[in-house]
Amino acid sequence: MMHSGWVTGRRVRRQLPRWSELRPLLRARPPELNPTSRRLGKALTIADLRRVAMRRTPRAVFDYTDGAAEREVSLRRARAAFRGVEFHPNVLRDVSSVDTTTTILARRSALPFAFAPTGFTRMMNHEGECAVARVAARRGIPYALSTLGTTSIERVAEAAPDARKWFQLYVWKDRAAGAELMARAVDAGYEALILTVDAPVPGVRMRDVRNGFSIPPALTIRTVADAALHPAWWVNLLTTEPLTFATFTSWEGTVAELMAELLDPTMTLDDLEWVRSNWSGPLIVKGIQTVTDAKAVIDAGADAVVLSNHGGRQLDRAPVPLRLVPDVRDAIGDRAHVIVDTGIMSGADIVAAIAAGAHSTMVGRAYLYGLMAGGERGVDRATEILESEIRRTMALLGATQINDLGPHHVKL
């Protein structure tokens, strides 16, 4: 008698399994004895690396990396925009071989993204900027050193001589100091200059204010208590070379106080001429949030624009960079390279941005989570995860090359 797919009225015969049948199922893996390799091996996504980073790093340092301005609306919206993307795959394509190489500023890049400039990187992990630059060199992608980096221009160049190195500049009140920084970057072989223009004054990052985050970290009751929870981080900080800065001698105070001291709120479009007089290589303008400004800086001589709201760390409720991409590409065509950042947490996000019209992307927090989770090996793991996700997403979309991606693949 048959009923709802079940056979009734019959007994199932059972038997003891033979060893010859069990043996192929027993695939014992040798234990991973190295704790860093063990925790990185378990991380399958950037979100996994973030969770490891949260456990491994003091709260104030993690929050400086993870947090954003005011109520953090800009960052949440940026990430939500990527989550809301609908992919439209083309099927019945031969995707047995996927090529992720592309051209970024007229040079080959093995992957369609660069490591974005981030401040105080040796605070996240003592291996810092040099570790990130070495991974960029091995992986064949550009790395950008921040004005607020914690390793000098020259030291990063020595650590990764084969990397494509970019230097990020804030326009300081002291223009002579800015000119000197550009000259040092030229002498050290940096390929391109990133001029960040969305920080005339510092944004208010509430997590930093509440944590009393300072550079270097002050020994207070809170930080001493935190040291007990994160002893490895504190040992590494206190037993490796003291923090040095990419561009200035030292600082004791909060990040907001430092930026307020350095940044020039009088900067205008006319200052691009001053930058150009000191820099003859490719010029990237970062922090563009309107079509009008994109056109203006390109007319003024920029070779590339980064559609970015500073990772949500400046103006809260700022435009979502991903949603700007189609309109900016329509307005400027191929007159300049269009890069997008903010909110990228996966290789699928990178593919979505390029399909929407960006030439390439930047990632910041994604690799910093890896750095905090496991130093240089953590950055390499983050890159490996992103590359795997890019390849898989492209194959599932029916695209075998970066240039195959287009607006027909995505609905924003």
Contact 397, 351 (CB under 8 A): yes
DSSP 71: T
pLDDT band at 14 (very low <50, low <70, confident <90, very high): confident
User: Rounded distance, CA 334 to CA 30, Å?
Assistant: 52
The pLDDT assigned to 261 comes to: 73
pLDDT band at 316 (very low <50, low <70, confident <90, very high): very high
Contact 63, 212 (CB under 8 A): no
pLDDT tens per residue across span 359-368 = 999 999 999 9
Contact 353, 361 (CB under 8 A): yes
Q: Burial letters for 11-49: b for 16+ Cβ neighbours within 10 Å, e otherwise? A: eeeeeeeeeeeeeeeeeeeeeeeeebeebbeebeebebb
Q: What is the average pLDDT across 212-225? A: 69
The pLDDT assigned to 216 comes to: 64
The pLDDT assigned to 257 comes to: 72
Query: What is each CA distance from 179 to 196, 265, 304, in whole angstroms?
Result: 15, 17, 21
Q: Taking the model in full, what pTM does it have?
A: 0.91
The pLDDT assigned to 263 comes to: 81
Residue with tokens 């993870």, as numbered in its chain: 66
pLDDT over 60 (residue 42): yes
Contact 242, 151 (CB under 8 A): no
The pLDDT assigned to 25 comes to: 74
pLDDT band at 173 (very low <50, low <70, confident <90, very high): confident
Average pLDDT, the chain: 90
CA 315 to chain centre: 19
Question: Which are the catalytic amino acids?
Answer: 310
What domains can you pick out in the chain, each with its CATH number?
54-411 (3.20.20.70)
The pLDDT assigned to 363 comes to: 98
User: Rounded distance, CA 284 to CA 192, Å?
Assistant: 7
pLDDT over 60 (residue 401): yes
Higher pLDDT, 118 or 5: 118
Q: Burial letters for 116-140: b for 16+ Cβ neighbours within 10 Å, e otherwise? A: bbbbbbbbbbbbbbbbbbbbbbebe
User: Rounded distance, CA 232 to CA 276, Å?
Assistant: 44
Contact 397, 384 (CB under 8 A): no
The percentage of the chain sitting over the pLDDT mark of 70, rounded to a whole number, equals 92
Contact 331, 294 (CB under 8 A): yes
pLDDT over 60 (residue 63): yes
pLDDT tens per residue across span 234-253 = 888 888 887 766 666 555 66
User: Rounded distance, CA 145 to CA 143, Å?
Assistant: 7
The pLDDT assigned to 2 comes to: 46
